[in-house]
Amino acid sequence: MTDDVPAPDLRAADADREKVAEILRDALAEGRLDMEEFEERLDATYKARTYGELAPITRDLPGAGTAPVPAVSLTKDPARGGGWADRIVGGDDPGTSSWAVAVMSGFQRKGRWTAPRRFNCFAFWGGGEIDLREANFADREIVINAVAIMGGVEVIVPPGVEVVVRGVGIMGGFDHREEGVPAEPGAPRVVVTGLAFWGGVGVERKLPRAERQRLREERRREKLERKEERRRQHLDRADRHRREVEAPRPLHDPLNLHSPHRRPAPRPEDD
């Protein structure tokens, strides 16, 4: 066995099963599989626990004489970029922006930017949004110092980030709902502090836009699959009904006149 082929009894990950499921969906769309075959193989995919169980599911795709479908890699590739280690830039990076002010107006920090070790913001009769879902971090711990006076500041963090809230509210308040959620290994800590006077500082955890789009696409595909399944069941019922209607029916014979086993009545001269 070469290094490129994993042991058949090696445990498969969710990502491996999703690769196989994606190939099956493409094969269904291209007409390589009918709905019944697709359902059987998809069910086997999500039940598979090892590479040995996954490998045969797409072995015959595509058929002879067709363009090749990319093979499913069953080897563990090195971790690609995009993890927390790549997003914590460290060093002397001061961050893309270190402060923001909104006076009867608003501000936003969102998209791909570098959150500094300390970000100061002030909102007076206005509001601000600090979105960290796609941001890099200047350090493993950053502090957002928010002062909201008759205004509000919203802090949006991605899943996996630890949140600590230390702000003070006077006829206002800080949102503590995201505290206590365990952090992912290597994820940064976001400390939210400051003052809210007749205002509020909210903290909300949301999925990144790309992840939300992926989940929407999965739900859309599942909806299409359920719709196709209902259509197939309807066609099956219609086909069974058609066969029942077209099947020959026995002749209505309440007196059993046409029975091949009916004996003829005896004639008087036979007595």
Beta bridge partners of residue 143, listed in sequence order: 118, 191
Question: What is the tens place of the pLDDT at every residue in 139-176?
Answer: 999 999 999 999 999 999 999 999 999 999 999 999 99
Domain ranges across the chain: 1-78, 91-206
The pLDDT assigned to 75 comes to 46
CB environment 92-102: b (16+ within 10 A), e (fewer):
eeebeeeebeb
Q: What is the pLDDT of residue 115?
A: 94
Distance of CA 94 to the CA centre of its chain: 35
Residue 262 CA from chain centroid, whole number: 70
Tens digit of each residue's pLDDT (9 = 90 or more) over 172-224: 999 999 998 888 999 999 999 999 999 999 999 998 877 777 777 777 778 87
Contact residues for 213 (Cβ-Cβ < 8 A; gap 6+): none
Q: Does 125 score more than 90 pLDDT?
A: yes
CA distance 127 to 92: 30
Q: Give the H/E segment covering residue 225.
A: helix 209-246
Say if residue 250's pLDDT is above 60: yes
Please state the rounded mean pLDDT for residues 80-108.
80
Residue 236 binned pLDDT confidence (cut-offs 50, 70, 90): confident
